[in-house]
Amino acid sequence: MSMPTTPAATASLPGAVGEEVLRATGITKRFPGVLALDGVHLDLRRGEVHALCGENGAGKSTLVKIVTGLYQTDDGEVVYKGEARHFASIQDAQAVGITMIHQELNLVPHLTVAENIYLGREPKKGWFVDKKKMEADAQVYLDRLKVGIRANELVLTLTVARQQMVEIAKALSLDAEVLIMDEPTSSLTESEIDRLFEIIHELKAHGVGIVYISHRLDELRRIVDRVTVMRDGRYVSTRNLADITVDDIVSAMVGRSLEEKFPERSSAPTDEVIFRVAGLSRTGKFRDVSFDLRRGEILGFAGLMGAGRTEVARAVFGADPKTAGTVTLAGRELSIASPIDAIEAGIAYLSEDRKLNGLAVKMSVKDNITMANMAAVSDRFGFIDPPKERSAAKKFVDLLNIKTPTITQIAKNLSGGNQQKVVIGKWLFRDSRVLFFDEPTRGIDVGAKFAIYQLLDKLAHDGIGVILITSELPEILGMTDRVVVFHEGEVTGILETRKTSQEEIMQYASGVKHMFR
Amino acid sequence: MAITETGAPARKSNIDRKDLIQKFAALAGLLILVVVFSMTSNAFMSMSNGVTIALQTTSIAYLGLGATFVIITGGIDLSVGSVLALAGVVAGIAAKAGVPVSLAMCAGVLVGGACGWVNGIIITRMKLPPFIATLGMMMVARGLALQVTGARAISGLGEDFGVLGNGSFLRIVEEGANGFPKVVFPGVSYAVIVMAVLAIACAVVLAKTTFGRHLYAIGSNEEAARLSGVDVNRTKIGAYVLSGLLAGLCGCVLMSRLVTAQPNEGVAYELDAIASAVIGGTSLVGGVGTISGTVIGAFIIGILRNGLNMNGVSSFIQMIIIGLVIIGTVWIDQMRNRR
- Give B-chain residues touching A415 at CB under 8 angstroms: 5-8
Asked if the model's pLDDT at residue A145 lies above 50, the reply is: yes
Q: Hey, what's the torsion of the CAs at A55, A60, A61, A67, to 10 degrees?
A: 180
- Which positions 300-319 of A are in contact with B (Cβ < 8 Å)? 317, 319
A39: region left, alpha or beta (phi > 0 left; psi from -120 to 50 alpha) = left
- Give A-chain residues touching B8 at CB under 8 angstroms: 57, 403-405, 413-415, 418
**pLDDT of the residue at B20:** 66
Is the domain of A310 the same as that of A377?
yes
Is the domain of A86 the same as that of A111?
no
Is the domain of A402 the same as that of A353?
yes
How far does the CA of residue A208 sit from the closest CA of chain B (Å)? 32
pLDDT band at B47 (very low <50, low <70, confident <90, very high): confident
| pTM attached to this predicted model | 0.76
Of B13, B208, B229, the CB nearest to A33: B13
Cβ separation B5–A371 shorter than 8 A: no
Q: What is the CATH number of the domain that holds A500?
A: 3.40.50.300
Q: Is A351 on the interface with B (CB under 8 A)?
A: yes
Q: What is the CATH number of the domain that holds B281?
A: 1.10.3470
H helices within A339-445, ranges in order?
A: 339-345, 365-370, 386-399, 416-429
Domain that holds residue B99: 43-174+181-332
Is the domain of A450 the same as that of A471?
yes
Number of domain units in chain B: 1
**Residue B150 belongs to some domain of the structure:** yes
Cβ separation A409–B217 shorter than 8 A: no
Residues B100, B97: Cα–Cα separation, whole Å: 9
**pLDDT of the residue at A12:** 53
End-to-end CA distance of chain A: 59
Number of domain units in chain A: 3
Q: How much of chain A is helix, strand and coil, in % rounded to 5?
A: 35, 25, 40
Angle between helices B232-258 and B101-124 (to 10 degrees): 150
Residues B156, B97: Cα–Cα separation, whole Å: 11
Is the domain of A130 the same as that of A251?
no
**Residue B19 belongs to some domain of the structure:** no
Between B43 and B177, residue with greater pLDDT: B43
Residues B252, B111: Cα–Cα separation, whole Å: 11
Angle among Cα B223, B224, B228 to the nearest 5 degrees reads 115
Q: Is A225 on the interface with B (CB under 8 A)?
A: no
Q: How many residues does chain B have?
A: 339
**pLDDT of the residue at A499:** 92
DSSP conformation letters of A51-103: EEE--TTSSHHHHHHHHTTSS--SEEEEEETTEEE--SSHHHHHHTTEEEE-S
How far does the CA of residue A236 sit from the closest CA of chain B (Å)? 15
Of B4, B7, B224, the CB nearest to A359: B224
**Residue B139 belongs to some domain of the structure:** yes
Chain centroid to CA A45: how far? Answer: 28
Cβ separation B6–A406 shorter than 8 A: no
DSSP conformation letters of B169-220: ES-EEEE-TTSSEEEEE--EEHHHHHHHHHHHHHHHHHHHBHHHHHHHHHHH
| Residue that finishes a domain, picked among A257, A285, A307 | A257
**Residue B97 belongs to some domain of the structure:** yes
Tell me the percentage of chain A whose pLDDT exceeds 90.
47
**Residue A11 belongs to some domain of the structure:** no
**Residue B31 belongs to some domain of the structure:** no
Nearest CA in chain A to B231: A340
pLDDT digits (tens, 9 = 90+) for B53-88: 999 999 999 999 999 999 999 999 999 999 999 999
Chain centroid to CA B149: how far? Answer: 26
Question: What ipTM does this complex have?
Answer: 0.77
Coil, helix or strand at residue A45:
strand
Q: Is A255 on the interface with B (CB under 8 A)?
A: yes
pLDDT digits (tens, 9 = 90+) for A159-197: 877 888 888 888 888 888 999 998 887 777 777 788 889
DSSP 8-class letter at A12: P
CB distance A296 to A268 below 8 Å:
yes
Between A256 and A54, residue with greater pLDDT: A54
CA-based R_g, chain B, Å: 22
Domain that holds residue A452: 273-509
**Residues of B within an 8 Å Cβ radius of A:** 1, 3-15, 208-211, 213-214, 216-217, 219-221, 223-231, 287-288, 339
Asked if the model's pLDDT at residue A355 lies above 80, the reply is: no
**pLDDT of the residue at A511:** 80
Is the domain of A87 the same as that of A119?
no
Of B4, B11, B220, the CB nearest to A360: B220
**Residue B54 belongs to some domain of the structure:** yes
Is the domain of A312 the same as that of A163?
no
Coil, helix or strand at residue A499:
helix
pLDDT digits (tens, 9 = 90+) for A94-140: 889 999 887 666 788 889 999 999 988 888 888 899 999 999 999 99
Residues A17, A493: Cα–Cα separation, whole Å: 49
**Residue A454 belongs to some domain of the structure:** yes
| Residue that finishes a domain, picked among A143, A175, A207 | A175
Q: Suggest the residue from A38, A60, A258, A371 to mutate for an interface test with chain B (most B CBs closer than 10 A).
A: A371
How far does the CA of residue B132 sit from the closest CA of chain A (Å)? 22
H helices within B73-209, ranges in order?
A: 80-96, 101-124, 130-149, 163-166, 190-208
Is the domain of A217 the same as that of A360?
no
**Residue B320 belongs to some domain of the structure:** yes
Is the domain of A109 the same as that of A76?
no
Is the domain of A309 the same as that of A386?
yes
Question: Exposed (0-12), middle (13-18) or buried (19+): which is A127, by Cβ within 10 Å?
Answer: exposed
Angle among Cα A473, A479, A481 to the nearest 5 degrees reads 100
* Closest-CA residue to A76 (of A20, A37, A28): A28
When the pLDDT of each residue in chain B is averaged and rounded to a whole number, the result is 89
Nearest CA in chain B to A432: B228
pLDDT digits (tens, 9 = 90+) for B119-164: 999 999 999 999 999 999 999 999 999 999 999 999 999 899 999 9
Of B5, B11, B223, the CB nearest to A356: B223
pLDDT digits (tens, 9 = 90+) for A450-459: 888 999 999 9
Number of helices (H), then strands (E), belonging to chain A: the values are 15, 22
Per residue in A416-434, is it b (16+ CB within 10 Å) or e — as a string? bbbbbbbbbbbbbbbebbb
Of B7, B13, B221, the CB nearest to A57: B7
- Which positions 449-478 of A are in contact with B (Cβ < 8 Å)? 450-451, 454
Beta bridge partners of A230: A235
pLDDT band at B7 (very low <50, low <70, confident <90, very high): very low
**pLDDT of the residue at B195:** 96
Per-residue pLDDT averaged across A38-57, rounded?
Answer: 89
Of A362, A374, A403, the CB nearest to B213: A374
Asked if the model's pLDDT at residue B1 lies above 50, the reply is: no
Is the domain of A127 the same as that of A205?
no
Is the domain of A210 the same as that of A146?
no
Residues A187, B261: Cα–Cα separation, whole Å: 62
Cα maximum dimension of chain A: 76
Q: Is A441 on the interface with B (CB under 8 A)?
A: no
Cβ separation A382–B211 shorter than 8 A: yes
